[in-house]
A and B are shown apart, each in its own frame.
Chain A
Amino acid sequence: MKILVSVKRVVDFNVKVRVKADGTGVETANVKMSMNPFDEIALEEAVRLKEAGVATEIVVVSCGVQACQETLRTALAIGADRAILVNTDAELQPLAVAKLLKAVSEREKPQLVIMGKQAIDDDANQTGQMLAALLGWPQATFASKIRLEADRAVVTREVDGGLETDAIKLPAVVTTDLRLNEPRYVTLPNIMKAKKKALEVLTPDALGVDVTPRLTTLKVVEPAKRKAGVKVADAKALVDKLRNDAKVI
């Protein structure tokens, strides 16, 4: 079974994100970038499926600038077999990425696409769902457990009320939640081996995909600063404030 995993290069989760002075977006110049943590979980799951003898090949794909190659090399070091970069400097919105991944899926014909449920930069949580719809494949989002059977995937999902278990027909799209697994540390021998694995570079044009943005970003601003708290004298004063100032009870 072939698994396709998508990975996005995002601002590292440890970095304190700053908005650009002109309000057009988030500052990324000279900022540490890493693999989106949810994608790391997706890849880890694929590698475990391969180690368990269920998957035979893992193809990892990223869409974006040249520097995404670093993220793909990391993915190869974690355990992907080969990598594809869909290279473009254009702004990529979820729909465009879903279309690119659809084109790649049609070329690669994976049985399963595993993706992070969202990227920690724009938190859109859309690409997986869009990809499934474009491909006409079943989807299971927010997976906290994946089990593969002959022609279906049994996926436990984290939903508001608790856990829901779905069986979906393959090929399918699964997006991962935080508790699916704990990604491994990359080993030194695998870093060295990653260099020798294939990394193919494609373009949106070659895939016949129009990535023109459909949404316009009007303005990006920092979240409002938290106001200083006040100390209340006793429980009565607290109830009073909750009722009259905050109006929450």
Chain B
Amino acid sequence: MSAYVAPLKDMRFVLNELAGLAEVAKLPRFEEATPDTVDAILEEASKFASEVLDPINLSGDQEGSKLSGGEVRTPRGFRDAYRKFCDGGWNALPFEHEWGGQGLPRLVSTPVQEMWKSSNLSFSLCPLLTQGAVEALLLRGSDALKQAYLPKMIEGRWTGTMNLTEPQAGSDLSLVRTRAERRASEYLISGQKIFITYGEHDLADNIVHLVLARTPDAPEGVKGISLFVVPKFIPDADGKAGRRNSARCASIEHKLGIHASPTAVMVYDQAVGYLVGEENRGLEYMFIMMNAARFAVGLEGVAIAERAFQRALAFSRERLQGRDLVAGGKTVPIIRHPDVRRMLMLMKSQAEAMRALAYTTAAAMDFAHKSGNPAERRRHQAYVDLMIPVVKGWSTETGIEIASLGVQVHGGMGFVEETGAAQYLRDARITTIYEGTTGIQAMDLVGRKIAREGGETAKEWIAQLKQFEAQLSKSNNENLVALRSQFAAGVQALADCVEFIVASSAKDPRPAFAGAVPFLKLMGIVAGGWQMGRAALAAERTLQSGERSFLEAKIATARFYADHVLVQAPALRNTVVNGAAGVMALSEDQFLAAY
């Protein structure tokens, strides 16, 4: 067995040495994020994750959420845990002071949210969706809507959902058909939404659905979609959950993973709804919130990777099998075997690289939002926009690989459900699908973030990587020397791809799109190598004053990452630059030629 333990030392190291917590704390209104307060927050959050959320993770998976008579019952322990979560004020962590939140930087809420996701991904989705709905209301909700909904949602007494998807409208939301008819001060919403996370449940007094729908005279396509608030219970004159609205859960899905998180089919039948912002601008609002949502799902990849690693590590230290290759003698724990070590190191090094990339991106989001200097804000925003699809796509794809390695380390026991390793693999599987599939992330990266601006931001970033390479070359630590050479090759591969994307897209978008996912992976690997290199340099710098065993492990882990992960970048470059022809070579009929 393995209980979740938050990797507090690594989290603090990344916050302080790589993400610049001290700098973020200097931004206006973030003064409270002092190192000792942040430590205390992480400490208490880790206790909550380990003692309250982790123990109901496996049981929640086995029991699942159940629907009967239109009502969903969450698994045993979820109601109690959710109440404790809200009583502890955790739901309010990411929000502004004026609405009852704690007004902490994203850089601080990020490690806390990693803990919720690591210890219980299914549970964590409920507050995550509420957060999304709150952000939508903060962004464009009228004062009346804000007053009516925000305080209760921020406390967590009411939860939120995001209703985008319909049977015919998934990746392509221009196809949304749900209708909204204007009435005096409200709208009547009718239609069907599918795959709605926590669309119905028993954790809170009310559920506030944010629903994309079309007014009768709306233009076709993306420019004709509006956003509405549709509460399960319509607030009465006192602001309490009142009359039942005709928003109903028709069924919940049987899924591969996240069994405890109810995924609802929602049917709206002239349900009362209130417009958020202006008509026809719903998708535009979704776009503004997209970075935050995609970042959050990327963090799920980091979190699952960490959890899968912890369980595999615990198992590998206990399972006795085989003998020491050199010493022979008695049966040894499998962690002694080189191949098991390799798997553990792949898990550990990539999880750490992904964490560093996510946290540094969170810091950039804070700067983009709060810096006093407009040019700085723009610079950070451009970097964030470039990096979000990578944090989302790379961390989740790698999260699945790591969860799969976790099963492998366990051997047969990994394939058996009671062990718990299989759950992480099943749970991880959704993360590359919702909030935009990896394919959609990669097209966003290649098309919108690189080709459209002639690779400007990407090239600036590459210049920064080259500077860092020069910095690396000053170290004569043999691990850092080895890392530098793989890193240099990785950066070159990245630069070649950006050239290729910019040049080829000018004529035809298809070749670049054909290699978009391999390119996203390459970019993740190089960005991760950059962070591991920065981590190794920081570790080398603080080796004398800091905790030796942790810092030496960091340097060795960075070296491993260079030899086992960064080396893949040049191969991926060849796929991106030369692989397009093969991708599109067959006619659609030729796929059937073998049958």
Give the interface of A toward B (CB within 8 A).
14, 30, 32, 70, 73-74, 77, 185-192, 194-195
Contact = CB atoms under 8 A, between A and B. Distances in A.
Interface of B: 5, 8, 32, 34, 36-37, 39-41, 43-44, 47-48, 51-52, 84, 87-90, 92-93, 102, 547, 549-550
A195 B37 contact: yes
A77 B45 CA distance: 13
Given A30-B547, A30-B549, A192-B102, A185 B36 contact: no
B37 A188 contact: no
A188 B88 contact: yes
B102 A189 contact: yes
Contacts of A32: 8
The 9 closest A-B pairs by CB, nearest first: A188-B89, A186-B44, A187-B89, A187-B88, A189-B89, A30-B547, A191-B40, A185-B88, A185-B48
Contacts of B47: 185-186
Contacts of A30: 547, 549-550
A24 B34 CA distance: 36
A35 B9 CA distance: 19
B114 to A, nearest CB: 16
Contacts of A191: 37, 40-41, 44
A190 B102 CA distance: 11
Contacts of B39: 70
Contact of B102 (A14, A70, A77, A188): A188
A77 B37 CA distance: 11
A188 B36 contact: no
Contacts of A70: 36, 39-40
Contacts, number: 52
B327 to A, nearest CB: 20
A151 B102 CA distance: 42
19 contacts: A14-B5, A30-B550, A70-B40, A73-B36, A74-B40, A74-B44, A185-B84, A185-B88, A186-B44, A188-B41, A188-B44, A188-B88, A188-B89, A188-B93, A189-B92, A189-B102, A191-B37, A192-B32, A194-B40
A30 B550 CA distance: 10
A74 B36 CA distance: 11
A107 B466 CA distance: 63
Nearest to A14: B5
A191 B40 CA distance: 7
A194 B550 CA distance: 30
A192 B41 CA distance: 9
A13 to B, nearest CB: 12
A198 B52 CA distance: 31
A73 B93 CA distance: 19
A195 to B, nearest CB: 6
Most buried by A among B44, B51, B549, B550: B44
A30 B87 CA distance: 32
Contact of A188 (B8, B90, B547, B550): B90
B490 to A, nearest CB: 33
Given A73-B40, A185-B88, A188-B41, 12 more contacts: A14-B5, A70-B36, A77-B40, A185-B44, A185-B47, A185-B48, A186-B88, A187-B87, A188-B88, A188-B89, A191-B44, A194-B40
B331 to A, nearest CB: 14
Contacts of A188: 41, 44, 88-90, 92-93, 102
Contacts of B40: 70, 73-74, 77, 191, 194
Contact of A192 (B8, B37, B88, B547): B37
A115 B330 CA distance: 49
Nearest to A78: B44
B151 to A, nearest CB: 14
Candidate in A32, A74, A185, A192 with the most chain B CB atoms within 10 angstroms: A185
Nearest to A195: B37
A31 to B, nearest CB: 10
B88 to A, nearest CB: 5
A193 to B, nearest CB: 11
Contacts of B102: 188-189, 192
A195 B36 CA distance: 9
Contacts of B36: 70, 73, 195
Contacts of B51: 185
A3 to B, nearest CB: 23
A167 to B, nearest CB: 35
Contacts of B90: 188
Contacts of B44: 74, 77, 185-186, 188, 191
